[in-house]
Structure 1
């Protein structure tokens, strides 16, 4: 099944590294005009050096006004991937208000902000569109030491359902993907210890963690016209973790 994004403009947040970077690259390979957003300019410069056709924008999405201004100036998009997020581990009893605010601000509030700007322009253009929000299996299952992260991703899923409901009449589809541990460079650092990984792997029927390409493929499908009747879903990419 061939998926093409020819003549489509797509915005990808958190695109400097990891999953977001790979999504931006594969969208470009599929013909999209890609705008990659990240807070870290050095990551964007590296991406642009490798793929000069990908437009880069450096902005802190945690800053509501600055992010809103930067995204608004970029014009109309046909699709949006909300990938920018902060992850940290902190037990419930030791969770701090500072970290709670940080994760909610970036993982949820920034997603709302960017999506509002992009969706309003989609509505004005009357061409429909597609949005994919990157969530996590942590929105569906309790993970030890991830109190605030689980809460933030649960909020992402809930907000996505409301977006799907309210934007659907404008032919704008909104879905999430909910990956398990993905072996990005960060994922390898966090889960390369066999003792730590064993407990999680024991709960995944396929017996392994996910690869970046497996998330990217799902995101591109949901953004594409091949998924034209899929709206408001939360798609696990977890090897069966949530089925157990």
Structure 2
């Protein structure tokens, strides 16, 4: 199969060969034939030169087309990785919704128990509150979500940042519940009671943010569906 590159080489070789042939013919020709040979030599050489130039231009276009195709392939592969990161994060919306629902249910139950006249929270209630704090920590530091953080919109990034800012205070609250739960006595019971109520207020404050962030994850996934379709090979 003759490629464009080989055709260019052939055109140049034929041009040089013809020029050499014509020069030999001119040197050995009769004086009246020289003008005719010069004319045909010039015509042929010019046509071959034009052909070589056209083939060179075609080769350049072909190279540009291949480079563009490769660029599009690389972009599509990169885009698919981005879309994959977004899709994985978007599928975690249920985790944030469930956490928000459990925070509302658990804190409501524990608060009702504390307000019923019970001074010292039960072990189950304390464990339930501590578990909420641990799950909140997981939600904020989830790798699947962090990997898509570059694609968050301004509001989504603000909500996620707010959840991150909540972590230090909630971690302190979890540690305080642990320590106070080890103490015994009337004063210790009242301190644990007050700390549990304070912790309930703190973690409940971020319930709406958890739900909003879950909604943002779904919206982010929907927004990238169009990009997924456009980057898919036809």
Q: Which has the higher helix share?
A: 2
TM-score normalised by L of structure 1: 0.28
TM-score normalised by L of structure 2: 0.29
Q: Which has the higher strand share?
A: 1
- Larger RCO (CA within 8 A; separation ≥ 6): 2
Task: Report the structure number with the largest CA radius of gyration.
Answer: 2
